[in-house]
Amino acid sequence: MGTHLYFSTQIGTQKPVTIVNNGNSCPFCDFDGLENIIARVETIILLKNKYSTLKNTFQTVIIETDECDSELSTYKKDHLYKVIQFAIKNWLELEMRKDFKSVILFKNHGPLSGGTIRHPHMQIIGLEQVDYKENIKLESFEGASIYKDNHVEFNISSKPKMGFYEFNVVLHDMTSINTMADCIQTAADYILNHFHFKCESYNLFFYHINDVISCKIIPRFVTTPLYIGYSIPQVTDDIENVAEKMKKFHLQKHNID
C-alpha cells in the first residue's frame, strides 16, 4: 500500500494560474472549448483534468458554474443542491471501480487553499496506490454541535485533524443530502464573511467511511509550524462559543425553525 503521491513538476509548471488576479484567462470559462467531458448537468460539468500532475491517479475536475466570480457560499439553493448532488454521485460512482485503492473528492477556494484556478470547481481523484482512509481518525468528526437531526450532524471538531477550527457535516442518510449542502454552505459563508478572523480561503474534504459520508470544511490560514514540523494539531478553546454563534447564523440563513 502506498503512503505518498508523486507530483509531476514538469506538468505542474504548465498549469494556468488564476487564483490571484494576474491577467491570465480562465480555462474553465471557455465552455465551448472544454474537452474530455465525462458528465454534465446544465452548467455543472465533470471532465478529465487536462493537467494530471499526480502519478498513478485518475484526475477529474467538476466545474461548478459558468459564473467565474461566483462562489459556493452565494449559490442559490437549487444550484447548491445540484452541485453537491452531482459531486457526490460522480465521486461514489468512481469509487465503485476496482482499479483504485480509494477516491477523494475535495474543493479549494482562495489563495491559501492550495488551488491555482479561481473559477469555482471541485476535484475527484482516483488513487491507484494510496488509501486515504488509513490516515483518518473518526474522532476528528466529533465536536460542539451546530445543528443535528435524525440524518445530519453539523459541528466544530473538538479533536481537529490539522488544528484550530474544522467544521464537520456528517450525513447518515442520502435522502438528506440537501440538508448537508445547506450546512456546507453555512460554513463557507461564515468563514468568508462572518469569522472573527479575516479569511479568504477554505477547503472542503469529503470522506466515505463505514457507509457514512462526511465533509470537513477547513478555513485556511498560514499553517501552524507545530503541525508542519511535528504533526501536532492545536485545539481552540472557544469552539462552544463559535458553535453557538454559528447555530443562530445557520438557523437564520436557511429559515429553520
pLDDT at 254: 87
pLDDT in tens, 169-182: 999 999 999 999 99
pLDDT bracket for residue 22 (50, 70, 90): low
pLDDT band at 1 (very low <50, low <70, confident <90, very high): low
**Secondary structure of the chain in the HEC alphabet?**
CECCCCECHHHHCCCCCCCCCCCCCCCCCCHHHCCCEEEEECCEEEEECCCCCECCEEEEEEECCCCCCCCHHHCCHHHHHHHHHHHHHHHHHHHCCCCCCEEEEEEEECCCCCCCCCCCEEEEEEECCECHHHHCCHHHHCEEEEEECCCEEEEEECCCCCCCCCEEEEECCHHHHHHHHHHHHHHHHHHHHCCCCCCCCEEEEEEEECCEEEEEEEECCCCCHHHHHHCCCCCCCCHHHHHHHHHHHHHHHCCCC
On the question of pLDDT at 83 being above 70, the answer is yes
82 has a pLDDT exceeding 90: yes
Tell me what the pLDDT averaged over the chain comes to.
Answer: 93
pTM score, whole prediction: 0.94
Q: Note the pLDDT tens digit of each residue in 41-70.
A: 999 999 999 888 899 999 999 999 999 999
Q: What is the pLDDT of residues 210-223, one digit of tens each?
A: 999 999 999 999 99
What's the pLDDT tens digit per position in 88-105? 999 999 999 999 999 999
User: What pLDDT, on the 0 to 100 scale, is given for residue 115?
Assistant: 85
- Same topology for domains 9-130 and 138-253, yes or no? yes
Given this structure, which CATH class describes domain 138-253? alpha beta
Give the percent of the chain with pLDDT over 90: 76
pLDDT attached to residue 173: 95
**Which fold is adopted by the domain 9-130?**
HIT family, subunit A (3.30.428)
The ranges assigned to domains in the chain are 9-130, 138-253
For residue 135, pLDDT over 70 is answered with yes
- Residue 2 pLDDT: 77
Average pLDDT estimate for 203-232: 94
The pLDDT of residue 257: 66
